[in-house]
Amino acid sequence: MPYRYLLFYKPYNVLSQFTDNSPPGQARLTLKDFISIPDVYPVGRLDHDSEGLMLLTNHGQLQHRLSDPKFEHPRTYWAQVERIPTEEALDILRQGVKIQDYKTRPARILMIAEPDLPDRDPPIRFRKQVPTSWLEITLTEGKNRQVRRMTAAVGFPTLRLIRVAIGSAKLQRIDTSLTDPPLQLTGLTPGQWRDLTFEEVQALLKLFHRR
């Protein structure tokens, strides 16, 4: 069976798995409601209340390699947070912040302008007297609800979270080289998926053969 590699734009409130064990009458949307390709599985996961890029494949060894935190494959998110973070708070996030009994790895954190994104359904809660801002956050690990816990730990709760890239952060926006390009959300709308291009597959396979 040939290998398949898919990119999917997971909408809000969709489980990042193909089955739902909820009681009858409480069923939630899953990947099965959007993707009919047999025997592909997600590389990592996104929480049901997060949106954005997912990679799915039937290449089991590659799936394991990209999911293993020891290989530190970057993932980039856009986070809408309450209020305007201070530079001190951003530096804490960059250096690593303690969440519960764990200190996060150093992260790449940038303040960005509000991105052009599809409206979320339902929309985030809006409080007229409380401004919001956007952060671009690149992690090399994926602890449970990590971005939300990180921003909350420094006093700026996350309201909306979208994964926008999987791959090398240093190439994001500044280099179109195919030596190690990020997989990006560009060109997809919520609920859409596509096969990776030949160049994207070759870049993934290079990651697989490293170390």
**Domains identified in the chain and CATH numbers:** 5-208 (3.30.2350.10)
| Tokens coding 145 | 């609800």
The pLDDT tens digits for 128-182 are 788 999 999 999 888 889 999 999 999 999 999 999 998 864 433 333 333 444 7
Q: Is residue 115 a contact partner of residue 184, using CB atoms and an 8 Å limit? A: no
CB atoms within 10 A of CB 129: 4
Closest CA to 89 of 145, 144, 158, 163: 158
State which H helix or E strand residue 119 sits in: none
Q: Which residue has the higher pLDDT, 125 or 113?
A: 113
Compute the distance between CA of residue 187 and CA of residue 79 in angstroms, rounded to an integer.
Answer: 20
CA separation for the pair 142, 49 (Å, rounded): 16
Residue 49 is a catalytic residue:
no
Mean pLDDT lowest among 55-69, 98-112, 114-128, 184-198: 55-69
Type and span of the H or E element at 92: helix 87-95
Q: Is the pTM of this model over 0.85?
A: yes
- What are 57-89's pLDDT values in tens digits? 998 888 877 776 666 678 999 999 999 999 999
Q: How big, in percent rounded to 5, are the helix, strand and coil portions of the chain?
A: 20, 25, 50
130 exposure class (CB count in 10 Å sphere: 0-12, 13-18, 19+): exposed
Q: Which amino acid is at 209?
A: H
The one catalytic residue among 20, 33, 47, 49? 47
Mean pLDDT of the chain: 87
